[in-house]
Amino acid sequence: MGFKVLILGSGSALPTNHRNPTAQYIFCNNRHILIDCGEGTQIQLRKNKVRLQKIDTILISHLHGDHYFGLVGLISTMHLLGRDRDLTIYGPDPLEKIVRMQLEIEGYPLGFKINFVSINGDSAKEIYRDNAIIIRTFPLNHRIPTNGFVIEETPKKLKINKFLFELDKVPIPAAQLFKMSQNYVSNAGKEYSYERYTQPPDKSFRYAYCSDTKYDESIIEHITGASLLYHEATFANDMKERARQTYHSTAEQAATIAKKAKVSKLLLGHLSARYGAVYMHLDEAKAVFENTYVVNDGDEIVLY
């Protein structure tokens, strides 16, 4: 169990020696998720000792190359390594055609099935749920349809107060019912209240991912209260007009969204190659939202 975010690429469209295009690996309660897949993502996964074959879900925010050009290479490598388990890819409509055409030209059928699920940045909705995690998407405001994502843990069960449980010699089968907020009645007809024998559950974490987007307060309702927010900050305030023209954000604008959404921590990424240092982004963001960090390739953020 656990929740961590690994930054594989923290740069924008133009790669540099220090920043690869966008990609992130998410580990949440034994679920392995890749968000975006810029060029070189499979190399970054290897450098950071992530087993490619564990990834079962890929989320593609939009179809600008720095967010998906690494996808076909990653899929091909999975095949060469003998993958036989299904892979599910969520992304805009044209993505399936783009990927399948390139794979067909190679002339080698894959040894596993790819399930494409269309999400076109046009509405907010839940796209996945199991007993451990929930994934939602919501629209961002970019030049082409773009998806934001929220990955969160399902609500956790109540914890047993072992001292009282053992003190009152409660029958063992009661524990599972107590965790689900249900009372237990013994064979002799004695009722045990779950409220006496339980404690509040551990905190459930939420991670919100906002890739390419201009400043737009309509996203706030979808990310409010997130434990961790990643928001693009392509530019600093010296290029605020350029950010507006290209439908990107400044660090200060990202921090304003974080503050209004009452998130716990803000990560800034997707930095333009124009910036060799990050002090401008950090200073401008922290003036609005103190708990801000500029990410680098290889950074790992653990939620606990």
Q: Supply the DSSP string of 126-189, one letter for each residue.
A: EEEE-SSEEEEEEE--SSS--EEEEEEEPPPPPEE-HHHHHHTT--TTHHHHHHTT--EE-TTS
Angle, alpha carbons 65-99-36 (nearest 5°): 45
Q: What is the mean pLDDT of the chain?
A: 96
Interval 253-273 mean pLDDT: 98
Tell me: pLDDT of 304 over 90: no
Q: How confident is the model at residue 108 (pLDDT cuts 50, 70, 90)?
A: confident
Last residue of a domain, one of 175, 199, 223: 199
| Whether residues 65 and 94 fall in one domain | yes
pLDDT reported for residue 2: 87
Last residue of a domain, one of 180, 199, 218: 199
Tell me: pLDDT of 18 over 80: yes
| Whether residues 130 and 166 fall in one domain | no
| Whether residues 177 and 111 fall in one domain | no
| Whether residues 113 and 163 fall in one domain | no
* Active site residue ranges: 66
| Whether residues 181 and 254 fall in one domain | no
| Whether residues 106 and 214 fall in one domain | yes
Q: Provide the phi-psi class of 221: left if phi over 0, else alpha when psi is between -120 and 50, else beta.
A: alpha
pLDDT digits (tens, 9 = 90+) for 175-202: 999 999 999 999 888 999 999 999 998 8
Q: How far apart are CA 272 and CA 181, in angstroms?
A: 50
pLDDT reported for residue 276: 86
The residues near 181 (Cβ < 8 Å, ≥ 6 apart) are: 158, 194, 198
| Whether residues 177 and 113 fall in one domain | no
Domain count across the chain: 2
CATH of the domain at 218: 3.60.15.10
Interval 278-295 mean pLDDT: 97
Tell me: pLDDT of 147 over 80: yes
| Whether residues 140 and 260 fall in one domain | yes
Tell me: pLDDT of 141 over 90: yes
| Whether residues 251 and 109 fall in one domain | yes
- Give the percent of the chain with pLDDT over 70: 100
In this structure, how many other beta carbons lie within 10 angstroms of the beta carbon of residue 65? 11
- Give the percent of the chain with pLDDT over 90: 93
Contact assessment for residue 282 and residue 292, using Cβ atoms and an 8 Å cutoff = yes
Closest CA to 95 of 136, 141, 36: 36
Angle, alpha carbons 240-244-250 (nearest 5°): 45
| Whether residues 265 and 283 fall in one domain | yes
Q: How far apart are CA 27 and CA 44, in angstroms?
A: 16
pLDDT reported for residue 106: 84
pLDDT digits (tens, 9 = 90+) for 200-236: 988 899 999 999 999 999 999 999 999 999 999 999 9
List alpha helices for the chain, DSSP H: 41-47, 71-80, 94-106, 162-167, 174-179, 194-197, 220-223, 240-245, 251-261, 279-286
Tell me: pLDDT of 253 over 90: yes
| Whether residues 136 and 190 fall in one domain | no
Structural domain range at position 214: 3-156+202-303
pLDDT reported for residue 256: 98
Interval 100-110 mean pLDDT: 90
Interval 135-153 mean pLDDT: 98
Q: How confident is the model at residue 171 (pLDDT cuts 50, 70, 90)?
A: very high
Q: Pairing state of beta strands 266-269 and 292-294?
A: parallel
pLDDT digits (tens, 9 = 90+) for 21-50: 999 999 999 999 999 999 999 999 999 999
Q: Token pair of 98, please?
A: 């783009």
| Whether residues 168 and 19 fall in one domain | no
Contact assessment for residue 206 and residue 150, using Cβ atoms and an 8 Å cutoff = yes
pLDDT reported for residue 188: 87
3: which strand partners? Answer: 28, 303
Last residue of a domain, one of 199, 227, 260: 199
